A and B are shown apart, each in its own frame.
Chain A
Amino acid sequence: MTVHTTTSHACETCPLGTNAQLIRLGINVEGWNYVVALAGNPNTGKSTVFNALTGLRQHTGNWPGKTVTRAEGGFLYQDERFKLVDLPGTYSLLSSSLDEEVARDFILFGQPDVTVIVVDATRLERNLNLVLQILEITDRVVVCLNLVDEAERHGMTVDDRALARDLGVPVIPTVARRGEGIPELLAAIHEVASGAYKARPHRINNHNPALAQAIDTLAAQIEARFEGLPNARWVAMRLLDGDERILEAVRSGELGILARGAQPVGSALQQEAA
Chain B
Amino acid sequence: METRTLDTLSRHQTAVVTALHSDGAERRRMMDLGIVPGTAIRVEMVSPLGDPVAYLVRGSVVALRREQAAKIEITLQPAEETQP
B65 to chain A, nearest CB (A): 16
Interface residues on B, range: 10 to 19
A123 and B25 contacting across the interface, CB-CB below 8 Å: no
Given the interface contacts A126-B33, A129-B32, A129-B34, does A96 sit within 8 Å of B25 by beta carbon? Answer: yes
Closest residue to B27 on the A side, CB-wise? Answer: A95
B58 and A91 contacting across the interface, CB-CB below 8 Å: no
B59 and A122 contacting across the interface, CB-CB below 8 Å: yes
A123 and B59 contacting across the interface, CB-CB below 8 Å: yes
With a cutoff of 8 Å between Cβ atoms, the chain A residues found around residue B25 in the complex are 95-96
Q: Write out, one digit per residue, whether chain A residues 58-99 have a CB within 8 A of any chain B CB (1) or not (0).
A: 000000000000000000000000000000000110111000
In the complex, chain B residues 31-59 whose Cβ is within 8 Å of any chain A Cβ: 32-34, 57-59
B53 to chain A, nearest CB (A): 19
Q: Write out, one digit per residue, whether chain A residues 104-137 have a CB within 8 A of any chain B CB (1) or not (0).
A: 0000000000000000001101100100000000
Contact pick for A95, options B29, B58, B60, CB 8 Å: B29
A260 to chain B, nearest CB (A): 31
Known interface pairs A125-B59, A126-B57, A126-B58; 19 further A-B residue pairs with C-beta atoms within 8 A, sorted by A's residue number: A91-B32, A91-B33, A92-B28, A92-B32, A94-B28, A94-B32, A95-B25, A95-B28, A95-B29, A95-B32, A96-B25, A122-B59, A123-B58, A123-B59, A123-B60, A126-B33, A126-B60, A129-B32, A129-B34
Mark A residues whose CB is within 8 Å of B. Answer: 91-92, 94-96, 122-123, 125-126, 129
> 27 pairs across A/B with beta carbons < 8 Å?
A91-B32, A91-B33, A92-B28, A92-B29, A92-B32, A94-B28, A94-B32, A95-B25, A95-B28, A95-B29, A95-B32, A96-B25, A122-B59, A123-B58, A123-B59, A123-B60, A125-B34, A125-B58, A125-B59, A126-B33, A126-B34, A126-B57, A126-B58, A126-B59, A126-B60, A129-B32, A129-B34
